[in-house]
Amino acid sequence: MSRIAKSAVYASFDHAAALLRAADTGHDGRISRDEVRQALTQLSGTERELADMFYRFVDHRDAARFAKVTGTDLDKAVAYAKTHLVDRCDVNHNGLSAAEIAKMSRTAQLAVALAKETKAAAVPAAPESVQWL
């Protein structure tokens, strides 16, 4: 298996945060559990799993009673995730290997899975009419 660039995993966390920001249907800067639950119905697969898990991660970081997730909370959680969930696993600073990914948290592993899916979708297949010499 080839290594995964940390920047691709960072992009997955940024994407999850953007999805959660878009869930703010009240446009009041606070993202409620109900808004996220509704937004998750529009998603599927790894993207849905990551958005759900990342919202729980952000919500857990501010465990005060009746606390709401805000854009600032999302920014802080993304920065924390990049540093503590991804960077700490890449000990030799050359991308994430299978062994390093195996040591990651479930949230970070979902971000890696989304990065792989995004990379696979971006690489176009060679046309069938092309003949290789």
The domain of 90 spans 6-121
Residue 75 domain-assigned (yes or no): yes
Residue 64 domain-assigned (yes or no): yes
Residue 101 domain-assigned (yes or no): yes
Q: Dihedral angle at the C-alpha atoms of 123, 45, 97, 84, nearest 10 degrees?
A: 120
Instruction: For tokens 């999850």, name the residue.
Output: 16
Number of domains in the chain: 1
Residue 21 domain-assigned (yes or no): yes
Residue pLDDT tens, the chain, 133 long? 578 999 999 999 999 999 999 998 888 889 988 999 999 999 999 999 999 999 999 998 877 777 788 999 999 999 999 999 999 998 888 889 999 999 999 999 999 999 999 888 776 655 555 555 4
Single-letter amino acid, residue 86: V
101/96 Cα distance (integer angstroms): 6
| pTM for this predicted structure | 0.86
Residue 128 domain-assigned (yes or no): no
- Residue 26's pLDDT is 83
Q: What is the CA radius of gyration of the chain?
A: 17
Residue 71 domain-assigned (yes or no): yes
Residue 20 domain-assigned (yes or no): yes
Residue 126 domain-assigned (yes or no): no
